């Protein structure tokens, strides 16, 4: 077990170090780069490597701990950076409130208006970008109103967006947005389009908020059931090689390895094992098989992470996905996955 843990950490360091070495400019503060820094901060918590913290702090300070489109934004993508700012805030011996000023103003504005509007999260990616800041600010401030607002927004996405909502109880999976609901866009063979990374965003969102929410918050139990059902569905459609297809509902639709969805599913599965959402004996093999596939197939010898589908909203986006396809959010997902597996002793 100890040897496997060392190997996992070594791969994580190699992938993180390659990205940092290739990107001396830490980049913008939008969702894709913020997702990378979520993963890098997870790796810092695991390794206590000062370089990872310094690189993240440099990025946050460059942007003044601000949000893309400013503190009045309601857009979930803009709020993703707040997850990293919350990580940095938590590390300070004397926390600086200025680090949370922008994300807290943005979320507070939505919390105060929750009774008037809760249709902002019209695509399933939004759950990952925005739910964690709501959950974590509620815990930090001991203010349940953040959680209540988050849940109202979530329920609209799950049960009402586009009419029936983006969550499909029959498959326990998520449609990316209303265009893909029954009667809308299908695969070339006429099957549903249940995009892998879109489902990865939803799974990661549930894993992150369940790390924060107490059992005394009534919706917590439903979040646990929804994540458990999704992971059970994913377990049945995992490929023999350990990856998941870009369309979970049609294995013939652009088949091939894809790292970002697979990494998010690995992360959510490992987190769910650690928090008791799913049983270790049934699900650790799922996560371990996915991790082995990514490290053997997608990680280059120098740490470059391949087979990442770049920015998009469906299986056809940013195709072809190849050994040399990468993206910051995919690296972040991979770092999250590995750190959770390492926490399980993997």
Predicted pLDDT at 113: 80
> Angle at Cα 153 formed by Cα 152 and Cα 154, nearest 5°?
90
Give residue 215's pLDDT band: very low, low, confident or very high (50, 70, 90). Answer: very high
C-alpha dihedral sign at 284, 285, 286, 292: positive
Rg (CA), the chain: 19
Predicted pLDDT at 345: 85
Phi-psi region of 27 (alpha: psi -120 to 50; beta: other; left: phi over 0): left
Average pLDDT over residues 51-74: 98
Q: How far apart, in Å, are the Cα atoms of 272 and each of 181, 201, 230, 317?
A: 27, 15, 11, 29
C-alpha dihedral sign at 324, 331, 24, 82: positive
Q: Is the pLDDT of residue 235 over 60?
A: yes
Q: Is the pLDDT of residue 346 over 90?
A: no
State whether residue 108 is helix, strand or coil. helix
Q: Please state, in angstroms and rounded to a whole number, the distance separating the CA atoms of residues 327 and 309.
A: 8
Predicted pLDDT at 2: 76
Give residue 95's pLDDT band: very low, low, confident or very high (50, 70, 90). Answer: confident
- pTM confidence score: 0.98
How confident is the model over 11-59, as pLDDT tens digits? Answer: 999 999 999 999 999 999 999 999 999 999 999 999 999 999 999 999 9
């Amino acid at each position: 077990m100890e040897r496997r843990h060392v190997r996992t950490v070594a791969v994580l360091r190699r992938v993180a170090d390659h990205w940092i070495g290739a990107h001396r400019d830490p980049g913008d503060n939008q969702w894709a780069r913020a997702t990378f820094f979520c993963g890098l901060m997870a790796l810092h918590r695991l390794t206590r490597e000062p370089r990872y913290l310094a690189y993240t702090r440099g990025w946050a300070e460059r942007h003044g701990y601000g949000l893309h489109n400013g503190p009045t934004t309601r857009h979930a993508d803009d709020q993703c950076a707040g997850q990293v700012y919350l990580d940095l805030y938590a590390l300070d011996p004397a926390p600086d409130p200025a680090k949370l000023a922008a994300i807290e103003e943005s979320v507070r504005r939505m919390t105060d208006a929750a009774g008037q509007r809760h249709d902002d999260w019209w695509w399933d990616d939004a759950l990952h970008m925005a739910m964690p800041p709501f959950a974590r600010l509620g815990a930090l401030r001991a203010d349940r109103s953040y959680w209540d607002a988050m849940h109202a927004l979530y329920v609209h996405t799950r049960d009402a967006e586009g009419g029936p909502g983006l969550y499909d109880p029959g498959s326990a999976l998520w449609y990316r947005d209303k265009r893909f609901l029954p009667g809308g866009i299908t695969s070339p063979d006429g099957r549903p389009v249940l995009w892998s990374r879109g489902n990865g965003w939803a799974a990661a969102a549930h894993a992150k908020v369940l790390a924060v929410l107490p059992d005394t918050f009534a919706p917590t139990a439903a979040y646990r059931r929804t994540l458990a059902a999704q992971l059970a569905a994913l377990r049945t459609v995992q490929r023999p090689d350990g990856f998941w297809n870009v369309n979970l509902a049609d294995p013939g639709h652009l088949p091939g390895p894809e790292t970002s969805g697979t990494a998010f599913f690995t992360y959510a599965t490992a987190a769910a094992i650690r928090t008791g959402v799913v049983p270790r004996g049934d699900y650790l093999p799922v996560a371990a098989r996915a991790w082995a596939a990514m490290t053997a197939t997608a990680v280059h010898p120098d740490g470059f992470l391949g087979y990442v589908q770049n920015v998009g909203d469906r299986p056809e986006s940013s195709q072809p996905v190849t050994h040399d396809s990468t993206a910051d959010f995919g690296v972040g997902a991979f770092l999250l996955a590995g750190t959770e597996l390492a926490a399980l002793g993997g």
